Chains A and B, each alone.
Chain A
Amino acid sequence: MDRLLRVNMTDRTAKFEPIPSAYASRAGRWLTSSLVHDEVPATCHPLGPRNKVVFSPGFVTGTAAPTSSRISVGGKSPLTGGIKEANAGTGWGRRLARLGIRAVVVEGQPERDGGFWMLKIDAKGVSFEPADALTGKKLSEMVPGLAARYGGRDKVDVCAIGVAGEHKMGAAGVCFTDREGRATRYAGRGGLGAALGSKGLKAIVVDDSGAAEVPIADKAKFDQGRKKLAAALGEHAITKPKGALNAYGTAVLVNILNEAGGLPTRNFRSGRFEGATKIAGEAIFAGNKERVGKDVYNHPCSPGCIIGCSNTWHKRDGSEHTSCIEYESDWAFGANCGIDDLDQIAELNLLCNEYGLDTIEIGGTLAVAAEGGVWKFGDGKRAIELVREIADATPLGRILGNGALVTGRAFGVTRVPHVKGQNMPAYEPRAIKGIGMTYAVSTMGADHTSGYTIAPEILGVSGKLDPLNPQKTDLARNFQYATAFIDSTGHCLFIAFAILDIASGFEGVVEECAGVLGTDWTMNDVARIGKAVLDLELDFNRQAGFTAADDRLPEFMLHEKLPPHDGVWDVPDEEIDRVFD
């Protein structure tokens, strides 16, 4: 029987509750957004006692469904002031699901600054333990020791915040252990690490020893679905073993976006970076081969993933420097900061993992800081010092740790590429109008993952996909519905590469979910479920005070031409406002 674990940080109590019947078939993002919508006052301070941080594994997380170990984390975002769902690939949510825990709701706040605590969840129950000794440390120093204390990485996975979360910074993410026990997988965006920090919760260790298998209502339907999905992932050129993601990682996109003139460079001043080929996925693969002496293919970040897109970067002596240099992180510290040195990019990535910071927000923040004269674009050594300063929580470090918008205000920078206070990721909206529309209307602030997935033909959206054509209304809406569905399944968004080309793969995903839950869902339910999720999130944001005026791209993009296409953001406001009408 699935349960909800309610953790009260005011009095440090925890209790299990049955899942309310209204939530019977909700999980992942659908459940985190439901709980945040229904239980968190939208006008509350995100760092105050009335905010909650909610964790939920997806419908099929913990089962044999391939590439399905995502954990959704929700709450009111300290960065945007709106609703937030961020998710990560890790065994942590898988263990939670196997313990029959569909959601963990962390609420309340110590009445006085009572130090930090950690939570241990296992088959016997829940316990609180003092965690002051875990604070102030790099996550790679703290997390493996903590895991070892409870039986090691084969037995437990760890969720933790870094020093950025302890200091309640808006760019603080929530870190989870990867399949090898590295503290490197992030529900990164929106500052949910700060929300946990405000509650004095430093870490949650989950041990699923003795847990039963995740119950599956209709095993035949589930098996049929997972086999269809596995076949699609195994045969598609992007997701198959040694395919594009396994060989080059997501950073293969650096060259593609650069060629398309949509790779934001030096705080969104150009769509092309002259150093792109030096930092792209191909360069990572070639550099590793040179330093390690063999082809280094990527690895799964979490148990059960058959795509394996997570990379490592190696030092000159062949030892591992950091994992993982995602496209977004590579771009954020590379093109967007004018840095073309992979070793410096790796160090910046490593430091964000150590301190519990969102790489996209910090790369964007550094770029805004360079615009404001704090440092010079391309000076990787200085960028590294600045990120260290965030961990030291100096006044400058605290400004940077609170993200691009705060940094822009502090240094008088008007060119801050954000929506709703969240810095834009690695796709230039003036070159790719569809993603600009997603940034504008996303309930999450500027976010590429909230509408990046679904082939128009699958949802029956008609044509007009010229990227420079501004009519993107239906596309933006339907992309976001489909994404919200996938974010609720527990699957990684990257299954989309395969299931959009291979229709039986998408059917398989729906059958897996219906099989686990015992529902009669078909492909026709995808948009319905996605809409239900979005409607909750939109309603929360309305109650929080957001209006159409917040669904806008920054002013400079309306008039500043972006090379090489010299485009401006010219999608009419009325068209943006029609997306969710």
Chain B
Amino acid sequence: MVRVHLYGKLRRFAAEADPRAESVAEVAHRPGDTVGTVVARLGVPLAELGANVFVDGKYADLASPVEDGARLGLFPDDMQLLYKWYFRPKADPK
């Protein structure tokens, strides 16, 4: 099981969408899962996903592996703020 914590407009992919609560979607884990495969199974459009993606609190990107039991944090494209410059993935060619 992967617990996906969703924020902003992505909260609609969880049962609890109140912005004052925790919006958590549970996704069954599959071997070889990455952020990209979990996001796809959840149905989150990539265009709405920002650069602030965390796996167990560590900055991640779509290719990052996701272990069974992981906590995934997803922020939308309009909620990434400056913080992303601290966390630009090393793979990012920019």
Contact = CB atoms under 8 A, between A and B. Distances in A.
Interface of A: 237-238, 243-245, 247-248, 250, 252-253, 255-257, 259-261, 271-272, 277-278, 280, 282-283, 285-287, 431-432, 434-435, 452-457, 463-468, 496-497, 500, 564-565
Given A467-B86, A565-B57, A244 B79 contact: yes
B20 A287 contact: yes
Contacts of A287: 20
Nearest to B7: A255
Contact of B87 (A282, A467, A564): A467
B90 interface: yes
B26 interface: no
Given A259-B73, A287-B20, A467-B59, 14 more contacts: A237-B80, A255-B7, A256-B52, A257-B83, A259-B5, A259-B75, A282-B7, A282-B20, A286-B20, A455-B85, A465-B85, A465-B88, A466-B59, A564-B56
B52 to A, nearest CB: 6
Contacts of A247: 78
A108 B73 CA distance: 54
> Which of A245, A260, A463 has most B Cβ within 10 Å?
A260
Interface string B54-84: 1011110000000000000101011111110
Contacts of A255: 7, 75
A260 B57 CA distance: 4
B82 A452 contact: yes
B94 interface: yes
Contacts of A237: 77-78, 80
A298 B5 CA distance: 26
Nearest to B77: A237
Contacts of A432: 86
Interface residues of B, number: 29
A238 B85 contact: no
Nearest to B89: A465
Contacts of B80: 237-238, 244, 256
B79 A248 contact: yes
Contacts of B88: 456, 465
B57 A456 contact: no
A564 B57 contact: yes
A435 B77 CA distance: 23
A259 B54 contact: yes
Interface of B: 5, 7-8, 18-22, 52, 54, 56-59, 73, 75, 77-83, 85-88, 90, 94
Contacts of B81: 238, 244-245, 250, 252-253, 256, 497
29 contacts: A238-B81, A243-B78, A244-B78, A248-B79, A255-B75, A256-B7, A257-B83, A259-B5, A259-B52, A260-B57, A260-B59, A260-B87, A271-B57, A272-B57, A277-B19, A282-B19, A286-B18, A286-B19, A431-B57, A455-B85, A456-B85, A466-B59, A467-B58, A467-B86, A467-B87, A500-B85, A564-B56, A564-B57, A565-B58
A261 B55 CA distance: 11
B85 A259 contact: no
B19 A260 contact: no
Given A286-B19, A287-B20, A261 B86 contact: no
A435 B83 CA distance: 11
Contacts of B85: 454-456, 465, 500
A435 B58 contact: no
B2 to A, nearest CB: 14
Contacts of A244: 78-81
Given A286-B20, A465-B88, A256 B94 contact: no
Given A277-B20, A285-B19, A463-B90, A253 B77 contact: no
Contacts of A497: 81-82
B79 A256 contact: yes
A500 B57 CA distance: 25
A497 to B, nearest CB: 6
A478 B65 CA distance: 32
Contacts of A463: 90
Contacts of B94: 457
B20 A256 contact: no
A432 B8 CA distance: 23
Given A282-B8, A465-B87, A467-B87, A259 B82 contact: no
